[in-house]
Amino acid sequence: MANLRFLYEFKINQIIDHTPEIRELVLELTNNPEFSFKAGQFVMLHVPVEGAAKPALRAYSIASTDEQKNGFKLIFKYVENGVASRYVWDLKGDETLKFTGPFGKVFFKEPPTEQIVFLNTGSGVSQHFSFLESKMKQYPNLKYTLYFGVRKEADIYYESELKRLQQQLPNFEYHYILSRASDEWTGKKGYVQHYLKDIPYKEVPTTFYLCGNGGMIKEVKHQLLELDGLDKSSVWAEAFD
């Protein structure tokens, strides 16, 4: 397993700007034979801070299959005045970044239930994409549903990646849910938590994975655990505010 204290160095192979506020980095390990992680885990980026003795540490979910041992992809959401955002958006593509990890205990529950529901906002799709890519060969026939919350049409990203998964998984569907959609938008509007009512989770054994803003996670947990009485082991959450 990876050494949690070891400072891993990754060089940037590619920078992908999906939107002005969403940047993806494709990273390759340079100072160790391999980096092992399990789908659902995150790493800590060590952000150099001018004049400070120690770097700032920021957590990011890994967005790639855990079969890969020589690197991974990370998705960043721009935060106004955020020390990590400034650092990541200043990158040109020839830098080496430092990370510790992997951390986190939100793993894919096995054996899986027949229905899997992913609810995410912002860059939370990274964790769920890692679950899907890592488990799809092993569990190709589960019913997977992903609700992806963004503000407006211009904020939609990762659609080609989700379409690719859809071609490989017969029972995978995904929906973008827009909180500030234009009048032209014909898809779902509002917030991901509003669409729980569309999921037959009371009739079909279901596991929920939530990743994104704390408000969404709190509302969904309140509905599923307190109001509907679902077992705690069927709802897994990682909050990134």
User: Mind listing the domains of the chain with CATH numbers?
Assistant: 8-103 (2.40.30.10), 115-239 (3.40.50.80)
Helix (H), strand (E) at residue 130: helix 125-135
What percent of the chain is predicted at pLDDT more than 90?
Answer: 96
111-128 average pLDDT score: 97
Per-residue confidence (pLDDT) for residue 241, from 0 to 100:
67
**pTM score:** 0.96
Q: Which are the contacts of 211, defined by CB distance < 8 A and separation ≥ 6? A: 61, 106, 118, 119, 120, 121, 124, 125, 126, 127, 128, 237, 238, 239, 240
Mean pLDDT estimate for the chain: 96
186-211 average pLDDT score: 97
52-63 average pLDDT score: 96
Instruction: Supply 165's token pair.
Output: 């998964």
